[in-house]
Amino acid sequence: MQQFTLIEPGKIEIIDVPDPEPIRGQVLVKVKAALTCGTDLKAYDRGHSFIPMPGPFGHEYSGTVIKTGKDVRSFKEGDHVMGTHSAPCMLCPYCKKGMHNLCDTIMDQKVLGAFAEHILLPSHIVNQNLFHKPDTISFEEAAMLEPYSCVVHPYSRLNLDDIETALVIGAGPIGLMHLAYLNMKGIQVIVSDFFDDRLSLASKMGAYKTTVPVNTLDIVNEATSRLGVDLVIECSGQVNVWETSAQYLRRGGTLVLFGGCPSGTSVSYDTHRLHYDELTLIGSFHYTPADVQKAYQNITERKIDLSPLISGEFPLKDLEKALILLREGKGLKYVLKP
């Protein structure tokens, strides 16, 4: 089969490798749709600590089961499936505390290689985070399961009944997924971004107001009678934005720090506001099986529509063209089809 390998930053190669053979509990999937994401672009541009080099590339997928290993009962050849590239071990101290996204081995045992003709899924993923794809959704929509599961995760820690207004900073694919989730919950969402085309899409997807960053505070004050929003979702992953995001919160508000900053960076906050205004700051990383299940239901029951995030499609061999377009700020997510 053909498979893309990330050799080093700025260099990918498509190579021929032997077709994988599933063993006990494993499932071999023919990839029907693989999606680009921001993590892929970061790895391609400058490397990423969670994506070894040289090594297989890509992690958002959907497809058709080709073969199953011994003892696989829930899936058979020909089934249409959608899944994630990781699952917790269920044995480490964090898993035993129910903190499955922080599993000691979840990143070590993840599966990369969605930019390929086939992808082999190990038993722990098959058992926890692989699902049947209904005919009512496309393979492209189904491949959104992994990133959308990440988006679902922080809301398991929040009481959305107390949230009426929110600000999403960054209208890339993840920010727009947050918009879709919050809209589904009936929350008024302001979206801030530099790019007019992304703000236009945010409006079409139901944003209450959109703004460029320089006007964000004025828009928030206008929309909330100077009170501040209940919730801020930071999706830019920029240190300076992390530091300024708390200024948009009302007293008692919550800031979700979703966008990952470079390793070794640090931020500071006004201690007076944190203490006397009782602000809550939370990080958000990855997802639990419960988050994936909820994301699966949202997508397959069509409670949300993520199809506007797909900017186009390429044959598998043209992966680099898609990545270059993303680097240039053109498009949100591209579909690669083997």
Per residue in 269-322, pLDDT (tens digit) is 999 999 999 999 999 999 999 999 999 999 999 999 999 999 999 999 999 999
Q: What pLDDT is attached to residue 47?
A: 85
Measure CA of the first residue to CA of the last residue in the chain; give whole Å.
Answer: 10
Q: What is the mean pLDDT of residues 175-201?
A: 97
Q: What pLDDT is attached to residue 31?
A: 98
Q: Decide if domain 2-144+306-337 falls under CATH 3.40.1550.10.
A: no
CB–CB of 210/202 below 8 Å? yes
Q: What pLDDT is attached to residue 49?
A: 79
Q: What pLDDT is attached to residue 263?
A: 85
Tell me which fold the domain 151-283 belongs to. Answer: Rossmann fold (3.40.50)
Please name the helix (run of DSSP H) or strand (run of DSSP E) that holds residue 35, with its range, or none. Answer: strand 27-35
CATH 3.40.50.720 in the chain, residues? 151-283
Looking at the predicted structure, is the pLDDT value of residue 34 above 90?
yes
Per residue in 1-14, pLDDT (tens digit) is 999 999 999 999 99
Q: What pLDDT is attached to residue 53?
A: 86
Looking at the predicted structure, is the pLDDT value of residue 68 above 90?
yes
Q: What percent of the chain has pLDDT over 70?
A: 100
CA atoms in the 13 A half-sphere facing the CB of 44: 21
Looking at the predicted structure, is the pLDDT value of residue 60 above 90?
yes
- Alpha helices by DSSP H, listed for the chain, are 38-46, 93-96, 123-129, 139-142, 145-152, 173-184, 196-204, 216-224, 239-244, 271-276, 289-300, 319-327
Q: What pLDDT is attached to residue 48?
A: 82
Confidence of residue 171 (pLDDT cuts 50, 70, 90): very high
Looking at the predicted structure, is the pLDDT value of residue 50 above 90?
no
Per residue in 208-221, pLDDT (tens digit) is 999 999 999 999 99
Q: What is the mean pLDDT of residues 234-255?
A: 97
Q: Across the chain, what does the average pLDDT equal?
A: 96
CB–CB of 187/253 below 8 Å? no
Rounded Cα distance between 96 and 261, Å, is 28
Q: What pLDDT is attached to residue 262?
A: 86
Record the tokens describing residue 148, joined without a space: 């959308």
CATH 3.90.180.10 in the chain, residues? 2-144+306-337
> Cβ neighbours of residue 198 under 8 Å, at least 6 residues apart?
171, 172, 176, 332
Per residue in 249-276, pLDDT (tens digit) is 999 999 999 999 988 999 999 999 999 9
Confidence of residue 142 (pLDDT cuts 50, 70, 90): very high
Looking at the predicted structure, is the pLDDT value of residue 46 above 90?
no
Rounded Cα distance between 325 and 306, Å, is 20
Looking at the predicted structure, is the pLDDT value of residue 79 above 90?
yes
Q: What percent of the chain has pLDDT over 90?
A: 94
